[in-house]
Protein backbone atom coordinates (compact mmCIF):
# COMPACT_ATOMS: atom_id res chain seq x y z
CA UNK A 1 0.00 0.00 0.00
CA UNK A 2 1.14 3.53 -0.76
CA UNK A 3 1.44 6.34 1.81
CA UNK A 4 -1.88 7.97 0.69
CA UNK A 5 -3.65 4.61 1.12
CA UNK A 6 -2.19 4.10 4.60
CA UNK A 7 -3.23 7.62 5.57
CA UNK A 8 -6.83 6.98 4.41
CA UNK A 9 -6.99 3.71 6.35
CA UNK A 10 -5.86 5.52 9.48
CA UNK A 11 -8.54 8.17 8.91
CA UNK A 12 -11.18 5.43 8.66
CA UNK A 13 -9.99 3.96 11.95
CA UNK A 14 -10.17 7.21 13.92
CA UNK A 15 -13.12 8.61 11.88
CA UNK A 16 -11.19 11.73 11.00
CA UNK A 17 -11.88 11.19 7.29
CA UNK A 18 -14.14 13.83 5.77
CA UNK A 19 -16.75 12.64 3.27
CA UNK A 20 -18.08 14.67 0.36
CA UNK A 21 -21.46 13.56 -0.98
CA UNK A 22 -22.19 14.82 -4.50
CA UNK A 23 -25.97 14.85 -5.09
CA UNK A 24 -28.19 15.10 -2.02
CA UNK A 25 -31.34 13.32 -3.22
CA UNK A 26 -33.06 10.05 -2.27
CA UNK A 27 -29.66 8.30 -2.22
CA UNK A 28 -27.17 10.97 -1.21
CA UNK A 29 -28.92 12.47 1.81
CA UNK A 30 -29.60 9.20 3.71
CA UNK A 31 -25.99 8.11 2.99
CA UNK A 32 -24.65 11.46 4.23
CA UNK A 33 -26.60 11.23 7.50
CA UNK A 34 -25.60 7.61 8.06
CA UNK A 35 -21.94 8.60 7.69
CA UNK A 36 -22.37 11.40 10.25
CA UNK A 37 -23.96 8.87 12.60
CA UNK A 38 -20.82 6.74 12.27
CA UNK A 39 -18.76 9.71 13.46
CA UNK A 40 -17.54 11.18 10.16
CA UNK A 41 -17.82 14.81 9.14
CA UNK A 42 -19.74 15.17 5.86
CA UNK A 43 -19.82 17.94 3.30
CA UNK A 44 -22.86 17.69 1.03
CA UNK A 45 -22.55 19.16 -2.46
CA UNK A 46 -25.41 19.79 -4.85
CA UNK A 47 -26.11 22.08 -7.79
CA UNK A 48 -29.57 22.93 -6.41
CA UNK A 49 -29.23 26.12 -4.34
CA UNK A 50 -32.74 25.92 -2.83
CA UNK A 51 -32.08 22.36 -1.66
CA UNK A 52 -28.70 23.29 -0.15
CA UNK A 53 -30.31 26.24 1.67
CA UNK A 54 -33.04 23.97 3.04
CA UNK A 55 -30.52 21.41 4.31
CA UNK A 56 -28.18 24.05 5.73
CA UNK A 57 -31.18 25.38 7.69
CA UNK A 58 -31.79 21.91 9.12
CA UNK A 59 -34.65 20.93 6.81
CA UNK A 60 -35.19 17.75 4.82
CA UNK A 61 -36.83 17.03 1.47
CA UNK A 62 -36.60 13.25 1.83
CA UNK A 63 -39.46 11.51 3.63
CA UNK A 64 -37.17 8.85 5.17
CA UNK A 65 -34.81 11.47 6.64
CA UNK A 66 -36.51 13.44 9.43
CA UNK A 67 -35.61 17.15 9.49
CA UNK A 68 -34.55 16.81 13.16
CA UNK A 69 -31.75 14.43 12.15
CA UNK A 70 -30.45 16.92 9.58
CA UNK A 71 -30.82 19.81 12.05
CA UNK A 72 -28.93 17.90 14.73
CA UNK A 73 -26.07 16.97 12.36
CA UNK A 74 -25.82 20.60 11.20
CA UNK A 75 -25.83 21.86 14.82
CA UNK A 76 -23.11 19.40 15.84
CA UNK A 77 -20.97 20.57 12.90
CA UNK A 78 -21.04 17.04 11.41
CA UNK A 79 -22.98 18.00 8.27
CA UNK A 80 -22.90 21.05 6.05
CA UNK A 81 -24.09 21.63 2.51
CA UNK A 82 -22.83 23.79 -0.32
CA UNK A 83 -23.20 24.45 -4.05
CA UNK A 84 -19.52 25.39 -4.24
CA UNK A 85 -18.05 22.40 -6.07
CA UNK A 86 -14.54 23.84 -5.74
CA UNK A 87 -14.80 22.61 -2.14
CA UNK A 88 -14.46 19.05 -3.49
CA UNK A 89 -10.76 19.49 -2.67
CA UNK A 90 -11.65 19.22 1.05
CA UNK A 91 -13.08 15.70 1.50
CA UNK A 92 -10.94 12.59 1.72
CA UNK A 93 -13.71 10.42 0.28
CA UNK A 94 -16.18 11.55 -2.40
CA UNK A 95 -19.37 9.53 -3.00
CA UNK A 96 -21.19 10.48 -6.20
CA UNK A 97 -24.98 10.06 -6.01
CA UNK A 98 -26.23 11.96 -9.07
CA UNK A 99 -29.16 10.92 -11.32
CA UNK A 100 -28.73 8.46 -14.19
CA UNK A 101 -31.91 8.92 -16.25
CA UNK A 102 -32.66 7.78 -19.78
CA UNK A 103 -32.77 10.02 -22.82
CA UNK A 104 -35.98 10.29 -24.85
CA UNK A 105 -34.72 7.39 -27.00
CA UNK A 106 -34.18 5.24 -23.86
CA UNK A 107 -30.40 5.48 -24.08
CA UNK A 108 -28.37 6.12 -20.88
CA UNK A 109 -27.99 9.78 -19.98
CA UNK A 110 -24.69 9.83 -18.12
CA UNK A 111 -24.33 13.61 -18.39
CA UNK A 112 -24.78 14.02 -14.61
CA UNK A 113 -22.05 11.45 -13.88
CA UNK A 114 -19.79 13.17 -16.41
CA UNK A 115 -20.46 16.61 -14.90
CA UNK A 116 -19.78 15.33 -11.37
CA UNK A 117 -16.59 13.61 -12.55
CA UNK A 118 -15.45 16.88 -14.18
CA UNK A 119 -16.02 18.71 -10.87
CA UNK A 120 -14.05 16.06 -8.96
CA UNK A 121 -11.26 16.15 -11.54
CA UNK A 122 -10.78 19.90 -11.18
CA UNK A 123 -9.75 19.60 -7.55
CA UNK A 124 -8.52 15.97 -7.43
CA UNK A 125 -5.59 15.60 -5.03
CA UNK A 126 -3.38 12.79 -3.72
CA UNK A 127 -5.09 10.68 -1.11
CA UNK A 128 -8.71 11.04 -2.30
CA UNK A 129 -11.02 8.05 -2.71
CA UNK A 130 -13.84 8.49 -5.26
CA UNK A 131 -16.85 6.15 -5.10
CA UNK A 132 -19.60 6.18 -7.73
CA UNK A 133 -23.00 5.22 -6.25
CA UNK A 134 -25.29 6.00 -9.20
CA UNK A 135 -26.81 3.03 -11.01
CA UNK A 136 -25.19 2.69 -14.42
CA UNK A 137 -24.02 0.30 -17.14
CA UNK A 138 -20.96 -1.92 -16.62
CA UNK A 139 -17.87 -0.03 -17.68
CA UNK A 140 -18.89 3.46 -16.56
CA UNK A 141 -16.39 3.69 -13.68
CA UNK A 142 -13.44 2.38 -15.71
CA UNK A 143 -14.25 3.80 -19.14
CA UNK A 144 -15.75 7.19 -18.31
CA UNK A 145 -14.45 8.20 -14.90
CA UNK A 146 -10.96 6.70 -14.76
CA UNK A 147 -9.52 8.37 -17.90
CA UNK A 148 -10.89 11.75 -16.82
CA UNK A 149 -9.42 11.45 -13.33
CA UNK A 150 -6.07 10.09 -14.55
CA UNK A 151 -5.78 12.97 -17.05
CA UNK A 152 -4.69 15.01 -14.00
CA UNK A 153 -1.43 13.02 -13.97
CA UNK A 154 -2.39 11.27 -10.72
CA UNK A 155 -2.34 7.45 -10.80
CA UNK A 156 -5.22 5.30 -9.64
CA UNK A 157 -4.40 2.82 -6.86
CA UNK A 158 -1.36 4.84 -5.86
CA UNK A 159 -2.23 8.55 -5.68
CA UNK A 160 -6.01 8.42 -5.73
CA UNK A 161 -8.52 5.57 -5.49
CA UNK A 162 -11.67 4.76 -7.45
CA UNK A 163 -14.50 2.32 -6.73
CA UNK A 164 -18.11 1.60 -7.60
CA UNK A 165 -20.62 0.83 -4.84
CA UNK A 166 -24.26 0.76 -5.93
CA UNK A 167 -26.86 2.21 -3.60
CA UNK A 168 -29.72 -0.16 -2.78
CA UNK A 169 -31.91 2.19 -0.72
CA UNK A 170 -35.63 1.43 -0.91
CA UNK A 171 -37.52 4.63 -0.03
CA UNK A 172 -40.38 4.03 2.40
CA UNK A 173 -38.96 0.69 3.58
CA UNK A 174 -38.95 0.76 7.40
CA UNK A 175 -37.00 -2.47 7.82
CA UNK A 176 -34.14 -2.12 5.36
CA UNK A 177 -32.20 1.15 5.22
CA UNK A 178 -28.81 2.49 4.20
CA UNK A 179 -27.17 1.11 7.37
CA UNK A 180 -28.50 -2.46 7.46
CA UNK A 181 -28.74 -3.23 3.74
CA UNK A 182 -25.56 -5.07 2.64
CA UNK A 183 -23.50 -2.91 0.29
CA UNK A 184 -21.54 -4.14 -2.75
CA UNK A 185 -18.08 -2.65 -3.42
CA UNK A 186 -15.85 -3.13 -6.45
CA UNK A 187 -12.57 -1.22 -6.83
CA UNK A 188 -10.43 -0.45 -9.88
CA UNK A 189 -7.52 -1.98 -7.92
CA UNK A 190 -7.38 -4.21 -4.88
CA UNK A 191 -6.30 -1.20 -2.77
CA UNK A 192 -9.24 0.88 -4.08
CA UNK A 193 -11.64 -1.86 -2.98
CA UNK A 194 -10.01 -2.33 0.43
CA UNK A 195 -10.15 1.39 1.10
CA UNK A 196 -13.79 1.75 0.04
CA UNK A 197 -14.72 -1.16 2.33
CA UNK A 198 -12.72 0.27 5.24
CA UNK A 199 -14.15 3.78 4.88
CA UNK A 200 -17.78 2.60 4.61
CA UNK A 201 -17.43 -0.07 7.33
CA UNK A 202 -18.23 2.19 10.30
CA UNK A 203 -21.51 3.33 8.68
CA UNK A 204 -22.75 0.18 6.91
CA UNK A 205 -23.30 -3.10 8.75
CA UNK A 206 -22.33 -5.49 5.95
CA UNK A 207 -20.03 -4.79 3.02
CA UNK A 208 -19.80 -7.25 0.14
CA UNK A 209 -16.56 -6.87 -1.83
CA UNK A 210 -16.55 -8.04 -5.45
CA UNK A 211 -13.63 -8.35 -7.83
CA UNK A 212 -14.19 -5.30 -10.08
CA UNK A 213 -16.31 -2.20 -10.64
CA UNK A 214 -17.92 -3.98 -13.61
CA UNK A 215 -19.11 -6.81 -11.36
CA UNK A 216 -20.49 -4.26 -8.87
CA UNK A 217 -22.20 -2.30 -11.66
CA UNK A 218 -23.79 -5.51 -12.96
CA UNK A 219 -24.99 -6.63 -9.51
CA UNK A 220 -27.24 -3.58 -9.26
CA UNK A 221 -28.58 -4.01 -12.79
CA UNK A 222 -29.16 -7.74 -12.26
CA UNK A 223 -31.19 -6.98 -9.11
CA UNK A 224 -33.43 -4.50 -10.87
CA UNK A 225 -33.70 -6.56 -14.05
CA UNK A 226 -34.70 -9.55 -11.90
CA UNK A 227 -37.56 -7.47 -10.49
CA UNK A 228 -38.57 -6.06 -13.87
CA UNK A 229 -38.65 -9.52 -15.50
CA UNK A 230 -40.60 -11.15 -12.67
CA UNK A 231 -43.09 -8.29 -12.49
CA UNK A 232 -43.43 -8.55 -16.29
CA UNK A 233 -44.12 -12.28 -15.92
CA UNK A 234 -46.91 -11.85 -13.34
CA UNK A 235 -48.36 -8.95 -15.28
CA UNK A 236 -48.60 -11.22 -18.30
CA UNK A 237 -50.10 -13.89 -16.03
CA UNK A 238 -52.76 -11.33 -14.96
CA UNK A 239 -53.73 -10.83 -18.62
CA UNK A 240 -53.71 -14.62 -19.21
CA UNK A 241 -55.92 -15.24 -16.15
CA UNK A 242 -58.31 -12.48 -17.21
CA UNK A 243 -58.76 -14.13 -20.60
CA UNK A 244 -59.21 -17.56 -18.97
CA UNK A 245 -61.66 -16.28 -16.36
CA UNK A 246 -59.35 -17.31 -13.49
CA UNK A 247 -58.48 -15.14 -10.48
CA UNK A 248 -54.75 -14.39 -10.85
CA UNK A 249 -54.42 -13.53 -7.15
CA UNK A 250 -55.80 -16.89 -6.11
CA UNK A 251 -53.30 -18.57 -8.43
CA UNK A 252 -50.35 -16.54 -7.13
CA UNK A 253 -51.27 -16.98 -3.47
CA UNK A 254 -51.66 -20.72 -3.94
CA UNK A 255 -48.35 -20.96 -5.85
CA UNK A 256 -46.67 -19.05 -3.02
CA UNK A 257 -47.48 -21.88 -0.59
CA UNK A 258 -44.69 -23.87 -2.27
CA UNK A 259 -41.87 -23.66 0.27
CA UNK A 260 -39.11 -23.76 -2.35
CA UNK A 261 -38.51 -22.75 -5.95
CA UNK A 262 -41.17 -20.01 -6.15
CA UNK A 263 -40.84 -16.35 -5.26
CA UNK A 264 -44.00 -14.28 -5.01
CA UNK A 265 -44.34 -11.25 -7.28
CA UNK A 266 -47.63 -9.46 -7.77
CA UNK A 267 -49.21 -7.84 -10.81
CA UNK A 268 -50.08 -4.17 -10.91
CA UNK A 269 -50.48 -1.05 -13.01
CA UNK A 270 -46.93 -1.22 -14.42
CA UNK A 271 -43.61 -0.21 -12.89
CA UNK A 272 -42.41 3.19 -11.68
CA UNK A 273 -39.68 4.96 -9.77
CA UNK A 274 -36.15 5.88 -10.68
CA UNK A 275 -34.88 2.28 -10.86
CA UNK A 276 -36.90 -0.61 -12.28
CA UNK A 277 -38.24 1.05 -15.46
CA UNK A 278 -34.85 2.64 -16.22
CA UNK A 279 -31.89 0.60 -15.04
CA UNK A 280 -32.33 -2.51 -17.23
CA UNK A 281 -32.16 -0.21 -20.28
CA UNK A 282 -28.63 0.77 -19.24
CA UNK A 283 -27.55 -2.84 -19.69
CA UNK A 284 -29.62 -3.29 -22.87
CA UNK A 285 -27.86 -0.25 -24.36
CA UNK A 286 -24.41 -1.48 -23.35
CA UNK A 287 -25.09 -4.89 -24.87
CA UNK A 288 -26.33 -3.32 -28.13
CA UNK A 289 -22.87 -1.75 -28.47
CA UNK A 290 -21.55 -5.33 -28.30
CA UNK A 291 -24.09 -6.56 -30.89
CA UNK A 292 -26.15 -8.51 -28.35
CA UNK A 293 -29.87 -8.04 -27.78
CA UNK A 294 -31.02 -8.54 -24.16
CA UNK A 295 -34.40 -10.11 -24.97
CA UNK A 296 -35.69 -10.65 -21.43
CA UNK A 297 -35.11 -6.98 -20.61
CA UNK A 298 -36.92 -5.79 -23.71
CA UNK A 299 -39.87 -8.14 -23.32
CA UNK A 300 -40.40 -7.36 -19.62
CA UNK A 301 -40.08 -3.65 -20.38
CA UNK A 302 -42.72 -3.93 -23.12
CA UNK A 303 -45.22 -5.86 -21.00
CA UNK A 304 -44.81 -3.57 -17.99
CA UNK A 305 -45.13 -0.47 -20.16
CA UNK A 306 -48.36 -1.82 -21.70
CA UNK A 307 -50.08 -2.39 -18.33
CA UNK A 308 -51.58 1.14 -18.11
CA UNK A 309 -53.38 0.47 -21.44
CA UNK A 310 -54.67 -2.84 -20.06
CA UNK A 311 -56.08 -1.19 -16.92
CA UNK A 312 -57.57 1.71 -18.88
CA UNK A 313 -59.39 -0.87 -21.01
CA UNK A 314 -60.77 -2.33 -17.76
CA UNK A 315 -62.04 1.13 -16.75
CA UNK A 316 -63.66 1.56 -20.17
CA UNK A 317 -65.38 -1.84 -19.69
CA UNK A 318 -66.71 -0.79 -16.27
CA UNK A 319 -68.09 2.42 -17.83
CA UNK A 320 -69.58 0.44 -20.69
CA UNK A 321 -71.42 -1.77 -18.20
CA UNK A 322 -73.23 1.40 -17.12
CA UNK A 323 -73.96 2.44 -20.72
CA UNK A 324 -71.36 5.20 -20.53
CA UNK A 325 -68.53 6.30 -22.76
CA UNK A 326 -65.17 7.39 -21.39
CA UNK A 327 -65.81 10.82 -22.89
CA UNK A 328 -67.83 12.81 -20.38
CA UNK A 329 -67.34 10.30 -17.54
CA UNK A 330 -65.56 11.07 -14.27
CA UNK A 331 -62.86 8.68 -13.08
CA UNK A 332 -61.40 8.88 -9.58
CA UNK A 333 -57.80 7.63 -9.38
CA UNK A 334 -56.79 6.43 -5.91
CA UNK A 335 -53.02 6.62 -5.37
CA UNK A 336 -50.66 8.26 -7.87
CA UNK A 337 -47.24 7.71 -6.25
CA UNK A 338 -45.26 4.95 -7.96
CA UNK A 339 -45.46 2.75 -4.87
CA UNK A 340 -47.10 2.60 -1.48
CA UNK A 341 -46.53 5.06 1.35
CA UNK A 342 -44.15 7.41 -0.44
CA UNK A 343 -44.54 10.73 -2.25
CA UNK A 344 -42.37 9.89 -5.28
CA UNK A 345 -44.24 10.12 -8.60
CA UNK A 346 -41.26 9.58 -10.92
CA UNK A 347 -42.23 7.25 -13.80
CA UNK A 348 -45.46 6.41 -11.96
CA UNK A 349 -47.83 4.35 -14.14
CA UNK A 350 -50.65 6.46 -12.62
CA UNK A 351 -49.54 9.32 -14.87
CA UNK A 352 -49.89 7.14 -17.98
CA UNK A 353 -53.29 5.93 -16.81
CA UNK A 354 -54.48 9.49 -16.21
CA UNK A 355 -53.20 10.68 -19.58
CA UNK A 356 -54.74 7.74 -21.45
CA UNK A 357 -58.11 8.39 -19.81
CA UNK A 358 -57.88 12.12 -20.47
CA UNK A 359 -57.10 11.39 -24.14
CA UNK A 360 -60.37 9.43 -24.23
CA UNK A 361 -62.21 12.48 -22.91
CA UNK A 362 -62.68 11.41 -19.27
CA UNK A 363 -62.52 13.91 -16.42
CA UNK A 364 -59.97 12.83 -13.83
CA UNK A 365 -59.89 13.52 -10.13
CA UNK A 366 -57.40 11.81 -7.82
CA UNK A 367 -56.81 11.10 -4.17
CA UNK A 368 -53.34 10.46 -2.73
CA UNK A 369 -52.52 11.16 0.92
CA UNK A 370 -48.81 11.53 0.01
CA UNK A 371 -49.10 13.61 -3.18
CA UNK A 372 -51.09 16.83 -2.77
CA UNK A 373 -50.27 18.22 -6.21
CA UNK A 374 -49.61 16.22 -9.37
CA UNK A 375 -47.82 18.19 -12.04
CA UNK A 376 -46.22 16.01 -14.68
CA UNK A 377 -46.27 16.27 -18.49
CA UNK A 378 -49.75 17.53 -19.42
CA UNK A 379 -51.25 16.60 -16.03
CA UNK A 380 -51.87 19.33 -13.44
CA UNK A 381 -54.23 18.18 -10.68
CA UNK A 382 -54.72 18.52 -6.92
CA UNK A 383 -55.61 15.66 -4.61
CA UNK A 384 -59.23 15.58 -3.44
CA UNK A 385 -60.31 14.13 -0.09
CA UNK A 386 -61.55 10.54 -0.24
CA UNK A 387 -65.16 11.05 0.81
CA UNK A 388 -68.47 9.33 0.28
CA UNK A 389 -69.48 12.21 -2.02
CA UNK A 390 -66.31 12.04 -4.17
CA UNK A 391 -66.67 8.27 -4.53
CA UNK A 392 -70.35 8.45 -5.37
CA UNK A 393 -69.75 11.21 -7.93
CA UNK A 394 -67.25 9.12 -9.90
CA UNK A 395 -68.47 6.82 -12.67
CA UNK A 396 -65.51 4.55 -11.97
CA UNK A 397 -62.71 4.40 -9.38
CA UNK A 398 -59.32 2.96 -10.26
CA UNK A 399 -56.95 2.00 -7.44
CA UNK A 400 -53.39 2.45 -8.68
CA UNK A 401 -51.24 2.73 -5.54
CA UNK A 402 -51.87 0.65 -2.42
CA UNK A 403 -51.08 3.22 0.30
CA UNK A 404 -51.63 1.64 3.71
CA UNK A 405 -53.45 4.73 5.06
CA UNK A 406 -56.26 4.72 2.47
CA UNK A 407 -59.69 3.52 3.60
CA UNK A 408 -60.40 0.85 0.96
CA UNK A 409 -63.51 -0.32 2.80
CA UNK A 410 -64.97 3.14 2.14
CA UNK A 411 -64.09 2.76 -1.54
CA UNK A 412 -65.77 -0.66 -1.65
CA UNK A 413 -68.91 0.72 0.05
CA UNK A 414 -69.46 3.85 -2.02
CA UNK A 415 -67.86 3.43 -5.45
CA UNK A 416 -70.19 2.59 -8.32
CA UNK A 417 -67.52 0.56 -10.15
CA UNK A 418 -63.93 -0.17 -9.10
CA UNK A 419 -60.86 -1.34 -10.99
CA UNK A 420 -58.44 -2.63 -8.37
CA UNK A 421 -54.95 -2.95 -9.88
CA UNK A 422 -53.40 -3.80 -6.49
CA UNK A 423 -55.90 -6.25 -5.03
CA UNK A 424 -56.51 -4.16 -1.92
CA UNK A 425 -60.30 -4.07 -1.79
CA UNK A 426 -61.77 -6.10 1.05
CA UNK A 427 -62.98 -9.44 -0.28
CA UNK A 428 -65.50 -11.93 1.06
CA UNK A 429 -63.71 -14.78 2.85
CA UNK A 430 -63.93 -18.18 1.18
N1 LIG B 1 -34.20 6.75 -5.60
C2 LIG B 1 -33.93 5.48 -5.35
O3 LIG B 1 -34.73 4.76 -4.75
C4 LIG B 1 -32.61 4.86 -5.76
C5 LIG B 1 -32.22 3.65 -5.20
C6 LIG B 1 -31.01 3.08 -5.55
C7 LIG B 1 -30.21 3.72 -6.50
N8 LIG B 1 -30.60 4.90 -7.07
C9 LIG B 1 -29.71 5.54 -8.02
O10 LIG B 1 -28.99 6.57 -7.34
C11 LIG B 1 -28.74 7.67 -8.22
C12 LIG B 1 -29.31 8.94 -7.62
O13 LIG B 1 -30.72 8.82 -7.55
P14 LIG B 1 -31.62 9.71 -6.60
O15 LIG B 1 -32.96 9.07 -6.58
O16 LIG B 1 -30.91 9.97 -5.32
O17 LIG B 1 -31.67 11.07 -7.46
P18 LIG B 1 -32.25 12.48 -6.98
O19 LIG B 1 -32.74 13.15 -8.21
O20 LIG B 1 -33.16 12.30 -5.81
O21 LIG B 1 -30.96 13.26 -6.43
C22 LIG B 1 -29.88 13.59 -7.23
C23 LIG B 1 -29.30 14.91 -6.77
O24 LIG B 1 -28.11 15.16 -7.52
C25 LIG B 1 -28.02 16.56 -7.77
N26 LIG B 1 -27.10 16.76 -8.89
C27 LIG B 1 -27.31 16.57 -10.21
N28 LIG B 1 -26.19 16.84 -10.91
C29 LIG B 1 -25.25 17.21 -10.01
C30 LIG B 1 -23.89 17.60 -10.12
N31 LIG B 1 -23.28 17.62 -11.30
N32 LIG B 1 -23.23 17.93 -9.00
C33 LIG B 1 -23.84 17.90 -7.79
N34 LIG B 1 -25.13 17.52 -7.62
C35 LIG B 1 -25.82 17.17 -8.73
C36 LIG B 1 -29.45 16.97 -8.04
O37 LIG B 1 -29.64 18.36 -7.85
C38 LIG B 1 -30.22 16.11 -7.00
O39 LIG B 1 -30.40 16.82 -5.78
C40 LIG B 1 -29.33 7.27 -9.56
O41 LIG B 1 -28.34 6.66 -10.33
C42 LIG B 1 -30.39 6.24 -9.18
O43 LIG B 1 -30.65 5.34 -10.23
C44 LIG B 1 -31.78 5.50 -6.70
Q: Taking residues 23-52, what's their average pLDDT?
A: 97
Look at residue 9 and tell me whether its pLDDT is greater than 90.
Answer: yes
pLDDT at position 105, please?
Answer: 84
pLDDT at position 203, please?
Answer: 98
pLDDT at position 291, please?
Answer: 98
Summary mean pLDDT of the chain? 96
User: pLDDT band at residue 274, thresholds of 50, 70 and 90?
Assistant: confident
User: pLDDT band at residue 277, thresholds of 50, 70 and 90?
Assistant: very high
Look at residue 176 and tell me whether its pLDDT is greater than 80.
Answer: yes
Q: What is the pLDDT of residues 96-105, one digit of tens each?
A: 999 999 988 8
CB 154 within 8 A of CB 160: yes
What is the distance in A from the centroid of ligand 1 to the CA of 54? 17
Best residue among 20, 21, 24, 25 to mutate for probing ligand 1's pocket (most ligand atoms within 8 Å of CB) is: 25
Residue 396 falls in the annotated catalytic set: no
User: pLDDT band at residue 230, thresholds of 50, 70 and 90?
Assistant: very high
* Residues contacting residue 111 through CB under 8 Å, at least 6 positions apart: none
Q: What is the pLDDT of residues 82-91, one digit of tens each?
A: 999 999 999 9
Q: Taking residues 22-30, what's their average pLDDT?
A: 97
Q: What is the pTM of this model?
A: 0.94
pLDDT at position 171, please?
Answer: 87
pLDDT at position 215, please?
Answer: 98
Look at residue 360 and tell me whether its pLDDT is greater than 90.
Answer: yes
What is the distance in A from the centroid of ligand 1 to the CA of 130? 16
Q: Taking residues 234-241, what's their average pLDDT?
A: 98
Look at residue 59 and tell me whether its pLDDT is greater than 80.
Answer: yes
What is the distance in A from the centroid of ligand 1 to the CA of 62? 12
Q: Parallel, antiparallel, or unpaired for β 18-22 and 41-45?
A: parallel
Return d(Cα 8, Cα 195) in angstroms, integer: 7
Total count of residues recorded for the chain: 430
Look at residue 429 and tell me whether its pLDDT is greater than 90.
Answer: no
- Cα dihedral across residues 72, 76, 78, 84: positive or negative: positive
Q: What is the pLDDT of residues 111-151, one digit of tens each?
A: 999 999 999 999 999 999 999 999 999 999 999 999 999 99
Look at residue 205 and tell me whether its pLDDT is greater than 90.
Answer: yes
Give Rg (Cα) of the chain.
Answer: 24
In this structure, which residue's CA is closest to atom 30 in ligand 1? 116
In this structure, which residue's CA is closest to atom 31 in ligand 1? 116
CB 150 within 8 A of CB 120: no
In this structure, which residue's CA is closest to atom 15 in ligand 1? 26
What is the distance in A from the centroid of ligand 1 to the CA of 100? 7
pLDDT at position 337, please?
Answer: 97
Look at residue 430 and tell me whether its pLDDT is greater than 70.
Answer: no
Pocket of ligand 1 (CB under 6 A): 22-28, 45-48, 51, 97-100, 112, 115-116, 134-135, 167-169, 171, 274-275
In this structure, which residue's CA is closest to atom 36 in ligand 1? 23
pLDDT at position 102, please?
Answer: 92
Return d(Cα 423, Cα 58) in angstroms, integer: 40
Residue 37 CA, chain-centre distance (Å), reads: 23
pLDDT at position 317, please?
Answer: 97
Amino acid sequence: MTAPADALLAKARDRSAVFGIVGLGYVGLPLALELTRAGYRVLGLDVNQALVDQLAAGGSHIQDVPAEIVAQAVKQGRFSATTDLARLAEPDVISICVPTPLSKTKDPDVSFVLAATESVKRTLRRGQLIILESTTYPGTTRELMLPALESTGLKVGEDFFLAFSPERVDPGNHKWNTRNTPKIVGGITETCRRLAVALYQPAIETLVPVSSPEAAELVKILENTFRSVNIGLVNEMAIVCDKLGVDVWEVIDAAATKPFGFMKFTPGPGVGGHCIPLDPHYLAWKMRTLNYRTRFIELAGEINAEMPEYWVAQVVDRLNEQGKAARGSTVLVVGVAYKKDIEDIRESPAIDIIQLLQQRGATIVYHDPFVSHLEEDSVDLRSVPLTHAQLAAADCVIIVTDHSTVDYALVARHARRVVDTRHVLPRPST
